[in-house]
Amino acid sequence: MNPYWSRRLADVEPYVPGEQPKEGQYIKLNTNENPYPPSPKALAAIAAAAGEGLRLYPAPECGGLCRAIADFYGLTPEEVFVGNGSDEVLAMAFLAFFSPEDRIAFPAVSYSFYPVYARLFDIPYDAVELREDFTLDPSVFRKEHRGIVFANPNAPTGIALPLEEVEQILRAHRDVPVIVDEAYVDFGADSAVGLIGEYPNLLVIQTFSKSRSLAGLRVGFALGQPHMIAALDTVKNSFNSYTLDRLAQAGAAAAMEDQEYFEATRQKIIATRTWSAEALEKLGFTVLPSKTNFLFASHPEASAAALFGALRQRHILVRYFNKPIVDQFLRITVGTDEEMKALLCALEEILGR
């Protein structure tokens, strides 16, 4: 341990994001970005905001963006919190709702940022097992857990938990905060947003990075009752009052308002996912049922590590996790129809079909 480093860093193993190649032509199916460009209205709003106004600080309360998100969901702006990507919103939520005295729980196979935040903030946790088929058993969360986090749909499996089971968790743990990370919910799962009125312990977190094609703008948000949002505001205003710049606030608000574009692009991705999953199955892959913009697939005759390497040689990037339980799977982002055809051609060649 470096003598100058804070002791806080002793047990931290930072999250490793997927590769962003700097050169070369790659088909990029490794970080769940949207293959379609952002809404033209979002791009126009960003261009309009890129003017002399940048001399001034942005609105710290992000009122226009909170209003746009609230309108989309039929909530009030007091039920909305925005941040610099949902990763930041999640980190602030860990600080706002979990304590070093209280054990929290999240699934062992899930978003790998959860254990990173827990360690960084010294929050004890149980990584609870999924069922054999990678579904989440709502009863794995127990009374001693003083906080619960799970992604729905889950990553990297792509499997969605039915809304009744989300509610079962909320009902069984009314006295503890329950964070539902809905980064992929727009690709076919049921959101828990409609349960906010009934459950004061619920915080839903979403992002503009996936279904709204704005990973590069860094905007995420949380939805919950005003007392939950107030906790997040308290953390934010004790850390950085200006997490979202003027361009991000303008672009994200315009993207939220362009419902037609959002609908069209997410339906295209769902359609591409459907035929791609069938084509992978024809090649012998086992593909988990996905409600996301990625497919989690394994092949009985080829190791995932070898497939990952062979695809990379052909300039196709997918994600491979060298970790127990999931190391026989590839996580493949759903790209355009053309990108998925290229992937399938490459896999046919690699598997010798």
Which positions touch ligand PLP (CB under 6 A)? 32, 85-87, 111, 151, 155, 181, 183, 207, 209, 215, 220
CA–CA gap between residue 271 and residue 193 (Å, rounded) = 25
| Nearest CB to ligand PLP, comparing residues 39 and 302 | 39
* Other beta carbons within 10 Å of 101: 9
Residue 82's SS3 state is strand
Min. distance of Cβ 205 from ligand PLP in angstroms?
7
Estimate the share of the chain in helix, then strand, then coil, as percent rounded to the nearest 5. 40, 15, 45
Spatial separation of the C-alpha atoms in residues 342 and 163, rounded to whole Å: 36
Q: Read off the DSSP letter of residue 320.
A: E
**Cα Dmax for the chain:** 60
Q: How far apart are CA 330 and CA 343, in angstroms?
A: 12
Which residues, in sequence order, are CB contacts of 75 under 8 Å at separation 6+? 69, 193, 196, 223
Rounded Cα–Cα distance for residues 233 and 111 (Å): 24
Amino acid at the residue 43: L
**Torsion angles phi and psi, residue 181, rounded to 5:** -90, 105
Residues 6+ apart with CB under 8 A from 191: 182, 185, 204
Could you count the other beta carbons within 10 Å of the beta carbon of residue 345?
12
Of 73 and 187, the one with the shorter C-beta distance to ligand PLP is 187
Least distance to ligand PLP, CB of residue 181, Å: 5
Which residues, other chains included, contact 328 with Cβ-Cβ below 8 Å and sequence gap of 6+?
298, 303, 304
Closest approach, Cβ 337 to ligand PLP, in A, equals 23
Provide the CA 14 distance to its chain's centre, in angstroms.
17
User: Look-up: residue for tokens 């054990």?
Assistant: 103
Residue in 293, 253, 232, 238 with CA at minimum distance from that of residue 88: 232
CA 239, 91, 84, 77 torsion-angle sign: negative
